[in-house]
Structure 1
Amino acid sequence: MKLISTRDKTQKVELSYALLNPSANFGGLFVPENFPKFEEDFFQKAQNFSYKNLALEIIKSFEFDIDEEIFKKALDAYDKFDDQNLPLKIDKICENLYINELFHGPTRAFKDMALQPFGVIINELAKLKNENYLIICATSGDTGPATLKAFENSSNVKVACLYPKDGTSEVQKLQMTNISSKNLLSIGIKGNFDDAQKALKTMLSDDEFKNTLNKNNLKLSAANSVNFGRILFQIIYHFYAYIYLLKNGILAKDESFDIVVPSGNFGNALGAYYAKKMGAKIDKIKIASNQNNVLTSLFNDGIYDLRDKELIKTISPAMDILISSNVERLLFDKFGDIKTRELMQNLNEKKYYEIPKIDDFEAKFCTDEECADFIKKISKTGTLIDPHTATCFKFKPQKPTIITSTAHWVKFTPSMINSIKNAQINDEKSDMIELAKEFKDEIPDEILDLFDKNSTQNLVVEKSEIKSAILDWIKK
């Protein structure tokens, strides 16, 4: 199956091309030309599949040009997760409400679910082509650590990670600055995530920048969810959620369920939408936002409006995003390439567009105060949820509902202490350990170890200096 541009459906490329060259015609994104559809018999059989087998069957159904053995090797990346047989964990919270924990990978965020296998594929393709790549990622907190971990010590791939210097949690920043592999670079920018993402997109279409990379024997790609390789693996865990409900008798074969997704850049929610298109009986995809609630306005009112909009720093920093890149793929699916190009041009030039209401989605947003209240309320049941997952509790389940939990609470200890105990932290590591003891939870060693290391990368630059900082590094 080929992939096409969201802004020019006449452009058709293979997956291997799109993974290494994620920027499509007219600044668009690549999407599959069609989506395979799974019927009831598949979901019956899939109840006996391992997670890896399920993933492989879904990937194979697209008939992409990449050899199946590469996908198998990529899926072996899940062997590094807490449970090598199952990289996620689903638990019941209360009547009709379940939580899908996607943070059991090496960096304790849901981004590992896609980026660990994605990293293997990019490495394998680079070796097959005997080429070297510079991967750039922009992060609001979780993509960066997961990308750096996925490519550490790679012989064919260098990574430059852009993060807002004051826009992540302390643990997230430590994960990005305590890196030792020589092929990795972290750059704090004096700006927010939208600035980092804009810089990424600009460099992907900058011929002068790419020519300079070529002179240094490097080609350019990206690890953000602008790359369809990320979205491909995010479809799978929503399929698994549906199969889990079927297998455990929570759903009958003719019944549907809702999914609640804490959303910033919309890749996770888009994965759920694609899973629905492909046959998983998902009814509503409920978008939970923080006070940067552009998606609430989009899905409730059909309006994407950035006029006079300022980014708000919240206690759920990975969702502090105003420009949700993956919405473009949804627009293409609903309205086609010409309309999508027009809408994205309006957003770029007028900071505004309007669309008809899309019935697959509902949306609500949480204030920091509400988010903190949910953290405290759920903690009384003996469960700790991070400030991103907490936004999902704004929705009250009307039918079996899966909350997509995106990060381990240990990455946000100050907000946890403030929410549960109404206190400020004294020492983050000590307070983290005490909170874990109180709730009989375990702190991953890789998180605790961060506090005993000295940061190896402390580069901070102005937005205008990002490109030159990257070029200076690769020339060393």
Structure 2
Amino acid sequence: MKLTQTRANKGEKLQKVKLSEALLSPSSAHGGLYAPSKFPLITDALWAELGELKYSKFALKIIKMFKFDIKKSVFKKAIKRYKNFDDGKNPVPLKQIKKRLFVNELYHGPTRAFKDMALQPFGEILSSLAQKSRQNYLIMCATSGDTGPATLKTFANAKNIKVVCLYPANGTSEVQRLQMVCMQGSNLKTIGIKGDFDDAQSTLKSLLADDDFKATLKKQNLNLSAANSVNFGRILFQIIYHAYAYARLLKQNVIKNDEYIDIVVPSGNFGNALGAYYAKKMGAKIDKIKIVSNANNILTEFFNTGIYDLRGKKLIQTISPAMDILISSNIERLLFDKFGAIRTKELMDDLKTNKFYKLSNDELEQIKKDFEADFASDKKCEKYIKKYAKKGYAIDPHTATCFKMAKSKNTTIITSTAHWVKFAPSMLKANKLSAIDEKDGLNKLANLYKEKVPHTINSLFNAKILHPDVVEKNQIKSSISEWIKR
């Protein structure tokens, strides 16, 4: 199977590339992305068979169905990265908290966020491809808090790879910041920027398309790629855990073959929700994918009205910083799947030129067949955190948004994206606790939840700051260029 460019002009022949090409060079024509134009279908009989498998074998079975050009042995080695999770045999616990309500806990990896589920194997694959081609790559990532630590961790000291991570200097939690600025690895560079995540992401996209920047890299024998979910290699692994959750509900007889489920996803850049949509296209009986935003509720507006409008919008800092995003890159892949490459280019061109686009009524109805959307305020999230703390269950501020849309006639899976230890101040406030400092706060929360603070988190408070740089947006290109020449 090949991947297709998401943007095209009328009469243009669509470019299709192998997965290995899309991983190493994720940007397609006209500033677009790559996405599948068709999907393998899993029958009811195959779902029953898949439900018997542990996560690693399940993942390999799903990947094999796509018939990508990368060898099975490479994927097999990549999947072994899940052995570094809390439970290598079950890296994604599916926890029941009510009769028809489950939480898919995606945060049991090395950096305590769902990004590890995709980035741990992705790092292994990309490094393998670079070594096979005997080429060197600069991997860029922009982060609102979770992608950065996960990217740095997966590529630390990887052969043929250098990594630059961009993060908003005042737009992440303190633990997220420390995870990035203290990350060890001679091939890593973390840069704080004076701006928000959208500034970091727009800079990344512009550098991916910057011929002058690429020429500078070429002089240092470096090619350019990205670890954000603009890279389909990330999305591939995000399909799997949604499909696995559905298969487990079937296996446990929670649902029958003819029953549908809902999946609730806290959404910023939309990659996690897109993975659920692709799982649905592959045959998982998902009725609605429920998109929950925080105060930056541009996706709520889009899914309810068909209007994507950046005009006059300003990013709001919330207690769920990984969702503080206005420009959701992966919406483009949804537009491509629903309406094709020509219409996608029209819409994305409108967004770039006018900071606005609007779907037709028919197009909006097509979107609403699969999606519902709402948003939760910080105060609402704090109430959910407090409510479940009384029940002895810890939910972080991102997962908390999901409870706004958890009620349904269908069995529902909440997608839990991060461990509570990454957001101590918000957790303390919600639980009406005070602390001397963040470390003290984590210990008080651990006592409340009868859990232990992971050593990898506790050790951050005594770790050496290795990446102190904070620069203006217009200084990023020169900062990276200077670093790669050293």
What is the TM-score of this pair, normalised by structure 2? 0.97
2:429 counterpart (418, 432, 437): 418
Q: Give 1:167's aligned residue.
A: 171
Q: Give 1:462's aligned residue.
A: 472
Q: State which drifts further: 198-207 or 355-364.
A: 355-364
| CA positional deviation for 1:378 | 1.2
Q: Give 1:403's aligned residue.
A: 414
Q: Give 2:210's aligned residue.
A: 206
Residue 295 of structure 2 aligns to a residue whose secondary structure is coil
Residue 61 of structure 1 aligns to a residue whose secondary structure is helix
Residue 20 (structure 2) pairs with residue 16 (structure 1) = yes
For the 8 Å contact 2:103–2:415, the answer to whether it is kept is: yes
Residue 92 (structure 2) pairs with residue 92 (structure 1) = no
Residue 338 (structure 2) pairs with residue 334 (structure 1) = yes
Q: State which drifts further: 306-315 or 424-433.
A: 424-433
Q: State which drifts further: 85-94 or 229-238.
A: 85-94
Residue 112 (structure 2) pairs with residue 108 (structure 1) = yes
| CA positional deviation for 1:426 | 2.1
| Structure 2 residues without counterparts, runs of 5 or longer | none
For the 8 Å contact 1:261–1:268, the answer to whether it is kept is: yes
For the 8 Å contact 1:319–1:388, the answer to whether it is kept is: yes
Q: Give 1:348's aligned residue.
A: 352
Give me the whole-angstrom Cα distance separating, in 2, the residues matched to 1:65 and 1:29: 19
Give me the whole-angstrom Cα distance separating, in 1, the residues matched to 2:389 and 2:447: 13
| CA positional deviation for 1:390 | 0.1
Q: Give 1:446's aligned residue.
A: 456
Q: Give 2:181's aligned residue.
A: 177
| Structure 1 residues without counterparts, runs of 5 or longer | none
Give me the whole-angstrom Cα distance separating, in 2, the residues matched to 1:425 and 1:290: 26
Give me the whole-angstrom Cα distance separating, in 2, the residues matched to 1:416 and 1:326: 29
Give me the whole-angstrom Cα distance separating, in 1, the residues matched to 2:179 and 2:383: 28
Give me the whole-angstrom Cα distance separating, in 2, the residues matched to 1:284 and 1:47: 22
Give me the whole-angstrom Cα distance separating, in 2, the residues matched to 1:318 and 1:397: 26
Residue 131 of structure 1 aligns to a residue whose secondary structure is coil
Q: Give 2:395's aligned residue.
A: 385
| CA positional deviation for 1:454 | 2.1
Residue 141 of structure 2 aligns to a residue whose secondary structure is strand
1:428 counterpart (432, 435, 438): 438
Q: Give 2:5's aligned residue.
A: 5
For 1:440, give the aligned amino acid.
K
| CA positional deviation for 1:95 | 2.4
Q: Give 1:196's aligned residue.
A: 200
Give me the whole-angstrom Cα distance separating, in 2, the residues matched to 1:372 and 1:315: 9
Residue 141 (structure 2) pairs with residue 137 (structure 1) = yes
C-alpha root-mean-square deviation of aligned residues, in Å? 0.8
For the 8 Å contact 1:97–1:397, the answer to whether it is kept is: no
Q: Give 1:220's aligned residue.
A: 224
For the 8 Å contact 1:177–1:455, the answer to whether it is kept is: yes
For the 8 Å contact 2:434–2:441, the answer to whether it is kept is: no
Give me the whole-angstrom Cα distance separating, in 2, the residues matched to 1:310 and 1:178: 30
Give me the whole-angstrom Cα distance separating, in 1, the residues matched to 2:59 and 2:482: 40
What is the TM-score of this pair, normalised by structure 1? 0.99
Residue 380 (structure 2) pairs with residue 370 (structure 1) = yes
Q: Equivalent pairs: percent with the same residue?
A: 61
Give me the whole-angstrom Cα distance separating, in 2, the residues matched to 1:22 and 1:394: 35
Residue 15 of structure 2 aligns to a residue whose secondary structure is strand
Counting only pairs closer than 5 Å after superposition, residues 247-286 of structure 1 correspond to structure 2 as 247-286=251-290
Residue 48 of structure 2 aligns to a residue whose secondary structure is helix
| CA positional deviation for 1:125 | 0.2
What do the CA deviations read for 1:328-386 (whole angstroms, capped 9, x no partner)? 00000011101000000111111111113212000010111111111111111111100
Say how many residue pairs are matched.
475
Give me the whole-angstrom Cα distance separating, in 1, the residues matched to 2:408 and 2:149: 33
Give me the whole-angstrom Cα distance separating, in 1, the residues matched to 2:262 and 2:188: 39
